[in-house]
Structure 1
Amino acid sequence: MPISEAERYRGKERPSTSRSAARTPARAKVRLRQLLKVASVACGIQFGWALQLSLLTPYVQELGIPHAWASIIWLCGPLSGLFVQPLIGHFSDRCTSRFGRRRPFIVAGSASIAIAVLLIGYSADIGWLLGDRGDQKPRAIAVFVFGFWILDVANNMTQGPCRALLADLTGNDHRRTRVANAYFSLFMAIGNIFGYATGSFSGWFKILPFTVTSACNADCANLKSAFFLDIVFIAITTFISISAAKEVPLGSRNRSTSLAEEGPEHSGQAEEAFLWELFGTFRYFSGTIWVILFVTALTWIGWFPFLLFDTDWMGREIYGGKPNEGQNYNAGVRMGALGLMLNSVVLGITSVLMEKLCRKWGAAFVWGLSDILMALCFLAMLIISFVAKNMDYIGYDLPPDSIVIAALVFFTILGVPLAITYSVPYALISTRIEALGLGQGLSLGVLNLAVVIPQVVVSVGSGPWDQLFGGGNSPAFAVGAISAFAGGLIAILAIPRSSAQKPKAII
């Protein structure tokens, strides 16, 4: 029987249906309670992400980096994701550790997150010890950027294997794949709620007074204290997650007891492509997979300016403040963190309803509507910025309650499309790429390319783009609105509505 090109790529001849059925052991379905526990690590990861997204753009400007260059600092995130997540997915697909394929990477990533947040929290103190004085803090900035890089690498090192582990546990059960991703999104929402609530509280330095030092004022101490809580949070959730996932080492003969192995067809005997071979996998993608990747890219061009500058937008354009100049800016940052907490509450509620929404209307249609809703919210934020700019309180007083409430309302509504972005694309790509014979870790790494490449573009371009139009964050939000609207239309018109549609196998 001749071997097809795709089968040669996967390194094995396709068995006949009868032999495959006879060889493959029946796998018991993983209980939903176990999936829930495994997904819980997303709560700890997202707690740190929430602190990072709400506090670090303002903090890096307080260290002395201009607003136009603040987005460049975030370039390390997508660049690390571009290489680290596919690399980790590749190695976790083939890992033969006695602890399993995914769990060693989840533990190592969580430990790295703890080290990174300590570096970030103590960057001002380390800079002081190395000679920083006054407003210029080059050494603190260097330590901060180094810790920031480690944090982004560690986040990618942890999140990718966790999603791959959920995909291992659910196999080709499309409904449970969507449920597992909804659980992951739910725990991300819970982590966001706790993280943003922590970031919006201004009194942590009173609870942990040792965080205040000669180099670290109250605002800096609040950041440092929040990261101490992050370490505790991620330690607890990582323990729960790895304890619930009963992985059998890859290559073990006792496959019938494994909940995380996918049977002989998906075992470690199939060598996975990486880096120089990664783009070779593209030739096997169907048109639908390409559309999913394209819509993912447009969606993240929409999201990334908001995630970078949400609290900075509140501090600058609603509260009319600037870093290190009075209290208006910091008050706006804390109010922005409160808005993001409300956003996360809505995100969690939407995650619970996700399965029913996708089953009723189709995952692609739900995704498309959410992108259009996101675009409308960004447009509303631009209108609020225009109204605030033409009021006479800027530079003299706090904003009127009506302006603040309007901003918080749209921060909150954005929780709906964010929940869908965190869940639906992963479920769509997992169910459609299964027939290609690629490991789930590498498959999600391929999807990650559609997330990080747009983030690189936004990180490089948003600061200069905003500066070109006089500063502020509105120009980047305008680009995000256009991109999200285009992505929503394409998702509705070009992706088949059935989220459970099985892709055709490559033969």
Structure 2
Amino acid sequence: MAEGEDSSARERELREHDSEETVDRPTLKTAEPVHEQSPLLTASEAGDEEGAGLIEDESTLDDGNREFESKSIWYLILLTISIGGLQLAWAVELSNGTPYLLSLGLSKSVMALVWIAGPLSGALVQPYVGILSDNCRSKWGKRTPFMATGATATIISLLALAWVREIVGGFLGLFNAERDSEGVKISIIVVAVLFVYILDFSINTVQAGIRAFILDCCPSHQQEAANAMASRVLGVGNIIGYVAGYLDLPKHVGWLGNTQFKILCVIASVALGSTVMLSIGSIRERDASIDGPPIKGKGGILTFFQQVFKSIRRLPPQTRKVCEVEFFAWIGFFPQLFYSSSYIGDIYVQPYLEANPNMTPEETEALYENATRVGTFALLVYAITSLSTNVLLPFLIAPSYDAPSASSKKDQPKLLTHILSYLVIPGLTLRRAWLISHLIFASCMFSTLVVRSISGATALIGIVGVSWALTLWAPFAIISAEVSKLEELRRSRGVPDDGTADQAGVILGIHNMSVAAPQILATIGSSIIFRFLQKPRGVPGDHSMAVVLACGGIFTLVAAYLTSLIKDEIEVPEDMTAEEGEQRNRVVGRRRSSEAGLVSSERIGGLEY
């Protein structure tokens, strides 16, 4: 066919194509195969063997900023490994922070004011960092700068806390102050508390960045898989932390420090720094500078709280329900995390206290040290159970929030897919597994009132590891899947960022508020129960720990009911559905313009693509 006839035929085809009210298949067929260098082809289409159309589906119009193909297992490991290093820092603070501060001379009455820094920083820092990172336009990405800065601050504050005696004593020694004087001791306590607050704020900064980093760098259909991997890495970090705390580190690696706490801080610092560098060095975020300037607004604390409250009101529906579940669940989880070892320790000491009520203070302290080791062993069983659950459970749960794409099915070996399909329990979705985990947790907490043996109590805490595994996985997977899906829809439909839709950073920050706020309530409630039920140290018959744990189980039942209200699929909001027609017309208009330009180029230059 002659060149002019070919061009006329294509023009007639284009006019007929434009006369349709809707365009179901906005493609332009050509007489010759489409060349893979065509500028209208996406990366995935350029490698398609068929090469039948210029643009096959509107979901691929993403300016090349989003990859929809499934990521490998190594990619997910590198993506989430930094959260394992962070968990080591958390483990050091939670397991050894209290004994260390007490060794400095801090009273127990002041201790509650110190440890409230954790939930307080979680409620304020993470949403603030989320807002800042959402508005970040660095060429390195939105989250990477905050991950790097937060990790650096965490390492500095962790090491400074471990060597606070030497730092403060050496500085005041320049002014001829005696290290054993009361003024120096008080100064050491004040500076140590200051570093604890800096440490908590730094940890929450890097955690906010890591969670948003995982969400942004993983396709929506793999959000469950990514968060399952994150929970596994957390489990590994927990086990390493508990094993390191159980060992006599000064005996084996005394060159790292002369105390257990110093060596643990060094190990945690090396782990955090290396894992964060590995994640941000191997996985590059999309260039945030191409998103244009962020929405301008007034700064200040008042503006921050106004934006947070606005974001809470417009949370996506699934995310809102998850936050409601988390609020009640964490009223129960917070006492379990802090008092499980003490609960087992109380069971351990009761027979000895009853048999010998006149122990010396030295004998009593030695008894409680052994009780702490017994409780630590139960936590080790708890961590192993949690990790095992995170490894095995994803093979048993039917995919819900991460419906695999065609590319993910194509890339997966057929034999492996066939074998794994037999492991899936029909009807067991991630949401239902999360609901069951709440019921398991509540049952174990109620059982603490009647279980009074070491083996039985260790078994209870070990079973709770199943619930903890789902707590580290399910809420983040549900939220990430919804946020990622909505973000993909906005980008594919060309919806501009006008500030009416929140991004991952602020949404995950609000979720962390729903986790941190109930911890403050749980701390106050636990203190009230202890005020009326606890007995002096060394006096038999103290069952206050079991009562606190059982009260937490009551609130977890409320969380179980709220979990039953969450749906197993993601629903697109009505406002996005209403915009779909208009955005589709814009997309089709851009395609027609590009296709017309292609025909014009072919007609003038006689080039064939």
Q: TM-score, normalised by structure 1?
A: 0.80
Change (3 A) 1:230 1:286: closer
Residue 208 of structure 1 and its aligned partner are, at CA, apart by: 0.8
- Alpha-carbon separation, structure 2, partners of 1:376 and 1:133: 52
Query: How far apart in 2 are the matches of 1:140 and 1:283?
Result: 44
Asked whether the equivalents of residues 68 and 464 of structure 1 are also in contact (C-alpha less than 8 Å), the reply is: no
Q: CA deviation at 1:178?
A: 0.6
Cα displacement string for residues 53-87 of structure 1 (whole angstroms, at most 9, x for unaligned residues): 22223433444445555333221011111121111
Deviations 1:17-60 (A, max 9, x none): 99975852354325232121010001111112122222223433
Taking the aligned partners of 1:341 and 1:120, their CA distance within structure 2 comes to: 26
Is the CA contact (8 Å cut-off) linking 2:86 and 2:272 kept in structure 1?
yes
Taking the TM superposition and a 5 Å limit, the aligned residue runs for 1:280-359 are 280-285=310-315, 288-319=318-349, 326-359=365-398
1: distance between equivalents of 2:446 and 2:99? 23
Shift of 1:430: 2.4
Alpha-carbon distance in structure 1 between the residues aligned to 2:208 and 2:361 = 35
The aligned amino acid for 1:458 is A
Contact 2:335 2:526 in 1 (8 A): yes
- CA 1:414–1:229 in 2, change beyond 3 Å: closer, same or farther? same
Letter in structure 2 aligned against 1:118: L
Offset, 1:318: 3.0
Paired with 2:347 and 2:108, the residues of 1 have a C-alpha distance of: 13
User: Paired residue for 2:287, among 249, 260, 274?
Assistant: 249
Would you say how many aligned residue pairs link Structure 1 and Structure 2? 449
Counterpart check, 1:122 vs 2:163: yes
Give the deviation of 1:302 after TM superposition: 0.8
Cα deviations by residue, 1:123-175 (Å, 9 ceiling, x for unpaired):
455566664569x954443233222212211211111111111111224x23x
Please give the alpha-carbon distance, in whole angstroms, between the structure 2 residues aligned to 1:274 and 1:412. Answer: 41
- Partner Cα separation in structure 1 for residue 381 and residue 327 of structure 2: 26
User: Does the 8 Å CA contact 1:68/1:463 hold for their aligned counterparts?
Assistant: no
1:163 aligns with 2:211: yes
Identity %: 25
Q: 1:71 to 1:304 in 2, by over 3 A?
A: farther
Instruction: Give, in whole Å, the separation in 2 of the partners of 1:38 and 1:323.
Output: 50
CA gap 1:76/1:158 in 2 versus in 1, 3 angstroms: same
The answer to whether the 8 A contact 2:249-2:263 is kept is no
Correspondence for 2:246:
200
Name the residue aligned to 1:486: 558
What is the rounded CA distance, in whole Å, between the counterparts of 1:304 and 1:66 in structure 2? 22
Aligned to 2:446: 379
Deviations 1:301-351 (A, max 9, x none): 111112223334344453369998522222222332232222222211211
Whole-angstrom distance in 2 between the partners of 1:450 and 1:377? 23
**How far apart are the structure 1 equivalents of 2:570 and 2:128?**
29
Structure with larger Rg: 2
Kept in 2: contact 1:340–1:412 (CA 8 A): yes
The residue type paired with residue 575 of structure 2 is I
Quick one: structure 1 residues 280 and 306, their matched pair in 2 at CA, closer, same or farther if it must change by over 3 Å?
same
Q: Is the 8 A contact 2:312 2:510 kept in 1?
A: no
Moved more, 24-33 or 267-276: 267-276
Alignment of 1:76-225 (within 5 A): 76-126=117-167, 131-132=179-180, 138-171=186-219, 173-174=220-221, 176-205=222-251, 207-208=253-254, 211-212=257-258, 221-225=259-263
**1:506 and 2:570 are equivalent in the alignment:** no
2:417 corresponds in structure 1 to none
Task: Report what 1:410 is aligned to.
Answer: 460
Report what 1:394 is aligned to: none
23-32 vs 69-78, which moves further: 23-32
Tell me how far apart the structure 2 counterparts of residues 459 and 159 of structure 1 sit (CA, whole Å).
Answer: 22
Match for 1:502: what amino acid? E
The alpha-carbon distance between structure 1 residues 83 and 39, as it changes in their structure 2 partners (threshold 3 A), is: same
Shift of 1:191: 0.4
Out of 502, 511, 526, the position equivalent to 1:438 is 502
- Residues 292 and 412 of structure 1: is their aligned pair in 2 closer, same or farther, counting only changes over 3 Å? same
- Name the CA distance, whole Å, in 1 between partners of 2:361 and 2:114: 17
Deviations 1:385-437 (A, max 9, x none): xx3xxxxxxxxxxxxxxx33323222222211111111111121223345383
* Residues 433-442 or 153-162, more deviating: 433-442
Deviation of the 1:357 alpha carbon: 4.1
Alpha-carbon distance between aligned partners in 1 of 2:132 and 2:105, rounded to the nearest angstrom: 39
Amino acid at match of 2:439: I
Q: CA deviation at 1:465?
A: 3.0
Letter aligned with residue 157 of structure 2: A
CA distance in 1, matches of 2:447, 2:245: 25
> Aligned equivalents of 1:446 and 1:437: distance in 2?
14
Letter in 1 for 2:446: L
Residue deviations 1:104-139, cap 9 Å, x none? 1111111112112213322455566664569x9544
Q: Does structure 2 retain, via aligned residues, the 8 Å contact 1:312–1:333?
A: yes
Q: CA deviation at 1:284?
A: 2.5
Q: Relative to 1, partners in 2 of residues 1:178 and 1:406: Cα closer, same or farther, differing over 3 Å?
A: same
Go from structure 1 to structure 2 and tell me whether the alpha carbon gap of 1:432 and 1:505 turns closer, same or farther (over 3 Å shift).
farther
CA distance in 2, matches of 1:229, 1:155: 16
Which residue of structure 2 aligns with residue 261 of structure 1?
none
Rounded to whole Å, the distance in 1 between the matches of 2:525 and 2:192 is 22
Match of 1:31 among 53, 71, 78: 71
Whether 1:44 and 2:85 are equivalent positions in the alignment is yes
Instruction: Answer whether contact 1:62 1:323 (CA < 8 A) is retained.
Output: no
Cα deviation for residue 269 of structure 1 reads 5.2
Describe the shift of the 1:506–1:275 C-alpha distance in structure 2 as closer, same or farther (beyond 3 A).
farther
Q: Which runs of 5+ in 1 are unaligned?
A: 1-15, 213-220, 253-263, 388-402
Aligned to 2:566: 495
Cα separation, 2, equivalents of 1:420 and 1:210: 36
1:73 maps to amino acid: V
Partner SS for 1:327 = helix
| TM-score, scaled to structure 2 | 0.67
Q: Separation in 2 of the partners of 1:31 and 1:323?
A: 59
| Pair 1:275 & 2:305 matched | yes
Q: Is the 8 A contact 1:54 1:333 kept in 2?
A: no
The CA distance in 2 between the partners of 1:271 and 1:34, in whole Å, is: 35
Picking from 454, 457, 472, the partner of 2:518 is 454
Whole-Å Cα distance in 1 between the matches of residues 140 and 199 of structure 2? Answer: 24
Name the CA distance, whole Å, in 1 between partners of 2:164 and 2:231: 31
Structure 2 gap segments, 5+ residues each: 1-22, 27-56, 173-178, 298-302, 354-359, 399-426, 487-499, 536-543, 577-609
Could you tell me which of 400, 410, 425 is aligned with 2:475?
425
**Does the Cα contact within 8 Å between 1:110 and 1:238 map onto a contact in 2?**
yes
Instruction: Give the residue type in structure 1 aligned to 2:312.
Output: F
| SS at structure 2 position matched to 1:443 | helix
Whether the 8 Å CA contact 2:232–2:387 is kept in 1: the answer is: yes
DSSP-derived class of the 2:288 partner: coil
Question: Distance in 2 between the 1:468 and 1:69 partners?
Answer: 19
Q: Which moved more, 1:34-43 or 1:125-134?
A: 125-134
Deviations 1:429-452 (A, max 9, x none): 223345383211111011111011
Query: How far apart, in 2, do the equivalents of 1:20 and 1:55 lie?
Result: 54
